[in-house]
Amino acid sequence: MSKELIEVSGLVFKQKKYKDFDVLSKIMTAENGIFTLLIKGGLKPKSRLLPATINFSYGNYLINTNYCGLSVLRNYKVVHQLEHIYFDFKGNAYANYLLDLVDHAYADYQPLGKNYYLVFNALMKINEGIDNEIICQMVELKLLSAFGTMPEFRHCVFCDASQGIFDFSLQLGGIVCKNHFGSANTRMCLDAKTMGLIRTLALIDIQQLGQINISDNLKQQSRKFIDILYGQYLDLHLKTKKYLKEVL
C-alpha cells in the first residue's frame, strides 16, 4: 500500500532518540489508535517539528502512513502541552503508566474507540491536578475490557440486583449481591464502601467525575482490589507500573 498523507488528532508519548537527530515517538490518536511516529531531525535545535517531539504534546498532526510500521511526521497544526504532567514527577509517572497500559491493550493502528477519550480525558484531569490515584484506578478498571476481560460490575452475577450491598468473586468474575453471598463459593469479603467506590469508578463516565474527596484508606483498599484483579486476570509486568509504585 502506498503511503498517504493524513491528518490525525492525538497525543505524543514514549519519545526516544533514533538515528542521528531523528526521534521515535508513540502517538495515541482518535482515528487510528496507537502507532510509532518517526520525527526526522526532531532533535535539531531549530527543528520546526520540535514542539511535536515533546512528551505529552497533543494536537493535530499531518503524517505519512500506510497503516503499518513507522509513520512519518510531516507537519503539525495547533499543538498544546500538558505542562503540569511534564513537570510534576508524580503526574508524569501516572501518565506514563496509563499510556503504557493502553499501549499494551491494543495492537498498532487498532482504533481505540471510546477508550481514546477515556485516556485523553484522564490525562487532562491529571494535568489539572485532580486526584491522580482515583483517575488512574478508574482507567485501570475501564481498560480491563480492552484486554478481553470484563468483570461484571453492573449487577449481581446471580440476579439482576444492581443496588444494595455487594461483594466480589474472582472465580465468578463479578459482583455478588448480599442475597447470593451463600451461592458464591469464594468471595473477597470487601467492605461495602470499597465495593461502592469500585463500582462507581467502573460504571460512571469519566466526564461525570466531579470533585473527588475520598479518604486515603478507602483509596488504598480499592487499589489493593485492582492490583489483585490485574494479577489474576492479566499477565502484565509493566516497568511504568513498578516505577509508579516506587515514586508514590
Q: Which residues bind Zn ion (CB under 5 A)?
A: 156, 158-159, 161, 177, 180
Residue 156: CB minimum distance to Zn ion, A: 3
Q: Is residue 112 within 8 Å of 143, Cβ to Cβ?
A: no
Which is nearer to Zn ion, 1 or 189 (by Cβ)? Answer: 189
Which is nearer to Zn ion, 125 or 180 (by Cβ)? Answer: 180
How far is it, in rounded angstroms, from Cα 1 to Cα 22? 24
How far is it, in rounded angstroms, from Cα 2 to Cα 165? 57
Task: Give me Rg for the CA atoms of the chain.
Answer: 20
Residue 224: CB minimum distance to Zn ion, A: 24
Residue 178: CB minimum distance to Zn ion, A: 8
Which is nearer to Zn ion, 26 or 187 (by Cβ)? Answer: 187
Which is nearer to Zn ion, 109 or 158 (by Cβ)? Answer: 158
The neighbour count for residue 220, using CB atoms within 10 Å, is 12
Residue 187: CB minimum distance to Zn ion, A: 12
Residue 186: CB minimum distance to Zn ion, A: 16
Within 8 A by CB and 6+ apart from 226, the residues are 137, 140, 141, 198
Closest CA to 30 of 111, 147, 122: 111
Dihedral of CA atoms 199, 201, 207, 208 in degrees, nearest 10, equals: 50
Which is nearer to Zn ion, 161 or 234 (by Cβ)? Answer: 161
Residue 149: CB minimum distance to Zn ion, A: 21
Q: Is residue 91 within 8 Å of 127, Cβ to Cβ?
A: yes
Which is nearer to Zn ion, 161 or 218 (by Cβ)? Answer: 161
